[in-house]
Structure 1
Amino acid sequence: MPRTRDGGASVPRVAWLLGPALVAGVAYLDPGNVASNMTAGAQYGYLLVWVVVIGNVMAWLIQYLSAKLGIVTGRSLPEVLGERLRNRWARRAYWLQAELVAMATDLAEVIGGAVALNLLFGVPLIWGGLITGAVSIGLLVLQQRRGARPFEFVIMGLLVIIAVGFGVGVFIAPPDPAGLVAGLVPRFADANSVLLAASILGATIMPHAIYAHSALARDRFSARPAGGRAADAPAATAAADAPAPPPEPGTATTLPTEVLVRATRVDVTVAMAIAGTVNLCILLLAAVNLSGVEGTDSLEGAYTAIGASLGPVIATLFAVGLLASGLASTSVGAYAGAEIMHGLLHVRIPLLLRRLITLVPALAILALGFDPTLSLVLSQVVLSFGIPFALIPLIALTAKAGLLGRWRNHWATTAAGVAASVFLITLNALLLWLVFTGA
Structure 2
Amino acid sequence: MDAKAANPVVGPSKPRLLSILGPGLITGASDDDPSGIATYSQVGAQFGYGMGWVMLFSWPLMCAIQEISARIGRVTGRGIAGNLRKHYPASVGISIVSLLMVANIINIGADLGAMGAALKLIIGGPQLLYVAAFGIVTVLLEIFSRYSRYVSVLKWLTLSLLAYVAVAFVAKVPWATVGYNLIVPHISFNGQYITSVVAILGTTISPYLFFWQAGQEVEEVKERKEASPLKVAPKQAPEELTRIRIDTYFGMAISNAVALFIIVTTAATLNANGVTDIQTSSQAAEALRPIAGQFAFFVFALGIIGTGLLALPVLAGSSAYALGETLGWNVGLAKKPHRAKAFYTTIALATMVGVALNFTPIDPIKALFWSAVINGVVAVPVMGMMMHLSGKRAAMGDFQLPTGLRIVGWLATSVMAVAAVGLFATW
1:154 Cα deviation from its structure 2 partner: 0.6
Counterpart Cα distance in 1 of 2:96 and 2:344: 24
| Aligned residue number for residue 422 of structure 1 | 414
**Are 1:395 and 1:414, in contact at CA under 8 Å, matched by a contact in 2?**
yes
| Aligned residue number for residue 354 of structure 1 | 346
| Aligned residue number for residue 34 of structure 2 | 31
1:406 Cα deviation from its structure 2 partner: 2.9
Counterpart Cα distance in 2 of 1:270 and 1:229: 24
Relative to the length of structure 1, the TM-score reads: 0.84
| Aligned residue number for residue 40 of structure 1 | 43
- Select which of 312, 316, 325 maps to 1:334: 316
**Are 1:111 and 1:376, in contact at CA under 8 Å, matched by a contact in 2?**
no
1:171 Cα deviation from its structure 2 partner: 1.0
| Aligned residue number for residue 104 of structure 1 | 106
| Aligned residue number for residue 68 of structure 2 | 65
Structure 1, 74-83 or 111-120: larger mean CA deviation: 111-120
| Aligned residue number for residue 214 of structure 2 | 214
- Select which of 49, 53, 56 maps to 2:56: 53
Counterpart Cα distance in 1 of 2:364 and 2:10: 55
Task: Specify the code of the residue in structure 1 equivalent to 2:217.
Answer: A
The answer on 1:384 being equivalent to 2:383 is no
Structure 2 vs 1, CA of residues 153 and 97 (structure 1 numbering), >3 Å: closer, same or farther? Answer: same
Structure 2 vs 1, CA of residues 263 and 306 (structure 1 numbering), >3 Å: closer, same or farther? Answer: same
| Aligned residue number for residue 313 of structure 1 | 295
**Are 1:42 and 1:297, in contact at CA under 8 Å, matched by a contact in 2?**
no
| Aligned residue number for residue 413 of structure 1 | 405
| Aligned residue number for residue 187 of structure 2 | 187
Deviations 1:119-171 (Å, cap 9, x if unpaired)? 222243322221221121123124xx512x3122111111102x221111111
Task: Specify the code of the residue in structure 2 equivalent to 1:59.
Answer: M
- Unpaired runs of 5+ residues, structure 1, are 235-252
Structure 2 vs 1, CA of residues 352 and 338 (structure 1 numbering), >3 Å: closer, same or farther? Answer: closer
| Aligned residue number for residue 151 of structure 2 | 152
Counterpart Cα distance in 2 of 1:199 and 1:359: 24
The answer on 1:169 being equivalent to 2:149 is no
Counterpart Cα distance in 1 of 2:166 and 2:345: 39
**Are 1:73 and 1:222, in contact at CA under 8 Å, matched by a contact in 2?**
no
What is the percent sequence identity of the aligned residues? 20
Q: Secondary structure at the match of 1:407?
A: coil
Counterpart Cα distance in 2 of 1:223 and 1:321: 31
1:204 Cα deviation from its structure 2 partner: 0.8
Structure 2 vs 1, CA of residues 350 and 179 (structure 1 numbering), >3 Å: closer, same or farther? Answer: same
1:195 Cα deviation from its structure 2 partner: 2.1
Q: Secondary structure at the match of 2:38?
A: helix
Structure 2 vs 1, CA of residues 297 and 305 (structure 1 numbering), >3 Å: closer, same or farther? Answer: same
The answer on 1:343 being equivalent to 2:325 is yes
Counterpart Cα distance in 1 of 2:397 and 2:10: 26
Counterpart Cα distance in 1 of 2:163 and 2:75: 36
Deviations 1:249-288 (Å, cap 9, x if unpaired)? xxxx997121111111111122112111111001111111
Counterpart Cα distance in 2 of 1:68 and 1:414: 12
Task: Specify the code of the residue in structure 1 equivalent to 2:412.
Answer: A
Structure 2 vs 1, CA of residues 180 and 218 (structure 1 numbering), >3 Å: closer, same or farther? Answer: same
- Select which of 280, 283, 292 maps to 1:301: 283
Structure 1, 263-272 or 46-55: larger mean CA deviation: 46-55
| Aligned residue number for residue 280 of structure 1 | 260
Counterpart Cα distance in 2 of 1:414 and 1:287: 36
| Aligned residue number for residue 230 of structure 1 | 229
Q: Secondary structure at the match of 1:339?
A: helix
Structure 1, 333-342 or 379-388: larger mean CA deviation: 379-388
**Are 2:22 and 2:247, in contact at CA under 8 Å, matched by a contact in 1?**
yes
1:347 Cα deviation from its structure 2 partner: 3.8
**C-alpha RMSD of matched pairs (Å):** 2.9
Task: Specify the code of the residue in structure 2 equivalent to 1:283.
Answer: I
1:205 Cα deviation from its structure 2 partner: 0.9
Structure 2 vs 1, CA of residues 20 and 6 (structure 1 numbering), >3 Å: closer, same or farther? Answer: closer
- Unpaired runs of 5+ residues, structure 2, are 1-5, 331-340
| Aligned residue number for residue 137 of structure 2 | 135
Q: Secondary structure at the match of 1:293?
A: coil
Give the alignment of 1:196-275 within 5 angstroms. Answer: 196-221=196-221, 230-231=229-230, 233=231, 256-275=236-255
Structure 1, 63-72 or 9-18: larger mean CA deviation: 9-18
Deviations 1:76-114 (Å, cap 9, x if unpaired)? 11111111124x433322321222232233233222222
1:201 Cα deviation from its structure 2 partner: 1.4
1:190 Cα deviation from its structure 2 partner: 2.5
Counterpart Cα distance in 2 of 1:49 and 1:400: 37
Structure 1, 336-345 or 5-14: larger mean CA deviation: 5-14
